[in-house]
Amino acid sequence: MRSKHGVSSLAPSFRGPEGNTLANAIAARQHGDNYQARHFWNLALPMLATDSDIATIAYDFSDRKAFDDVVITYDPPRGQTHQEPLSTHYMQVKWQANQDHEFGYADLIDPKFINASKVSLLERLQDAQTPNETSARYTLVTTARVKANDPLLSLINNIDGTLRLKDLKKGGPDSKMGLVRSLWCTALKLSNEEQLFDVLKSFAILDNQPNLEGMRELVSTVARSVGLQLAPNSASDFRPDALARELIQCGYEDLNRKELLSFLAQEGLKPAASVQLQAQFTDVLIKSFDRLATDVSKFDTVIDLTQHFEGRYLDPSCTWQEDVVTPIIQSLRTQAQKSSHIRIAMDAHASVAFACGRVLHLKSGVRSEIYQNGRKGPELWHAEDGQGDAPQLDTRLIDLGAGDEIAVSVSVAQPTENAVLAFVQKSLPKAGKVLSCHLPSGPSQIGISGGHHAAKLSDQLAGIVKSLRETHDISRVHLFVAAPNALLFYLGQQAQSLGRHQMYEYDMDGDHGGSYVASISD
């Protein structure tokens, strides 16, 4: 069946658990639509980058007879290996319900392969091409695989999926390739093989493409690279699927960069300022330990504090204030005088991230973005990269008795409450209260969805601490935070609301007593 938006999908012919083949067919069509949508967004979102060569991108382009699912134009034309620069790329996206679906050269001239009744894929290719078009490509994008022993497999170039026409030309009429040429010429009603080569020279096949969930992962990754947080990985609905349908309903077919930004803003999605405003950001790396995957050459400025640390621990001959905080203040203030837009990567302790936020505070006039490290590599986070429905912190106030100081335990990435209580009772006799904070779902490495979520949590935390300081006459706040560095940075931006404070680092290796060690203070 051919779905509403031009995605060919094969619905399973067996009956479902309740005998409802219609439901299976509808589900297959929806999956096919979503698959096309995800391919579109995987190609469209990089267009937001300032160095993108994509001029326009179209979704379900009605101006074309075929290969219209996704259409890209490049300006300037994109260079290709051993071919003319590519100006336009037309794609036919074909999702298969069965992962083991395979095809061969004969299927390309069989209408059933694309669930049509009369016209085959190669006939659509022939119809879609225009005379003297030398800088276009027509690509079949499919989850199906080419059969292992089929002649088609040896014809597909591993570089870009185009066909190796030199190999197709080899052999006489009765050879393996001769039979392929004969079948295709007959099906396309061509009088000679040179006409066939003219049809095929702009044709490409990308088979065995990622499945539906794989495309979701790719779109999420590219979205994060431009500072967009789409949805938690656990969400059953994937927002780009609905956004593609919204494009159709709003009458969009082809979009340039400005129109794409406008559409996303209309839907409440804001890329990073460095993308949205095409602002020139200064990239700053702050290191208090070494991370193997970090390429320091990519940064404009590197603030290297590693000489003051022995592994993860501060050198006994150094102090946090003189050897860590002071260099951070001096370096970031110098950068802020040069640029009001700074992107920060922090291969650093939580206390360092907090100190960076104190320097680039909310009234500093600097627009900050954060490269947040995670399991999938660094992501670009900023305070407006998501929606307002992310979970807030659950809190409880534990009364320990007399004392005008308070300990704040924040369990976002790791549980902290028990360790903090033990440390407070042993080492902080003036702390009369412990504020315990955690996400409703409990500690997790993926509990925070992005910069917007991190900023909202820091707002909540700073607001609660400020209120407690005022109502309980708190003289000092002790901070024990297990969270992504972005949250520490945003919390540091509001250090003034915290009053007099002391940060702590946890001795994860147990080499220094297996508890907390005081770090920076106000």
Domain chopping of the chain, boundaries = 8-206, 276-381, 394-521
416 in Cβ contact with 478 (< 8 Å)? no
**What gap in Å lies between CA 437 and CA 352, rounded to an integer?**
21
Q: How far apart are the first and last CA of the chain?
A: 67
Cα–Cα distances in Å, from 413 out to 25, 250, 375, 480?
A: 42, 41, 13, 12
pLDDT at 153: 96
Q: Phi/psi class of residue 401: alpha, beta or left (left: φ > 0; alpha: ψ in -120 to 50)?
A: left
491 in Cβ contact with 454 (< 8 Å)? no
DSSP H or E stretch at residue 352:
helix 350-359
Given this structure, which CATH class describes domain 394-521? alpha beta
- The helix/strand/coil state of 140 is strand
224 in Cβ contact with 158 (< 8 Å)? no
323, with CB counted inside 10 A (0-12, 13-18, 19+), is middle
97 in Cβ contact with 72 (< 8 Å)? no
Q: HEC string of 162-220?
A: EECHHHHCCCCCCCHHHHHHHHHHHHCCCCCHHHHHHHHCCEEEECCCCCHHHHHHHHH
DSSP H or E stretch at residue 460:
helix 451-472
Find, among 58, 62, 56, 1, the residue nearest to 26 by Cα.
1
- The helix/strand/coil state of 522 is coil
Residues of the chain with pLDDT under 50: 1-18
pLDDT at 2: 33
Residue type present at position 16: G
DSSP state of 2: B
pLDDT at 375: 72
**What gap in Å lies between CA 394 and CA 97, rounded to an integer?**
42
* Domain 276-381 grouped into CATH 3.40.50: yes
**What gap in Å lies between CA 205 and CA 300, rounded to an integer?**
41
pLDDT at 380: 85
**What contacts 393, CB < 8 A, 6 or more positions away?**
410, 412, 437, 438, 439, 457, 460, 461
User: Given the structure tokens 């591993």, which residue do they identify?
Assistant: 158
DSSP H or E stretch at residue 432:
strand 431-438
pLDDT at 269: 85
Same CATH topology for 276-381 and 394-521: the answer is no
100, with CB counted inside 10 A (0-12, 13-18, 19+), is exposed
DSSP state of 111: G
103 in Cβ contact with 110 (< 8 Å)? no
DSSP state of 437: E
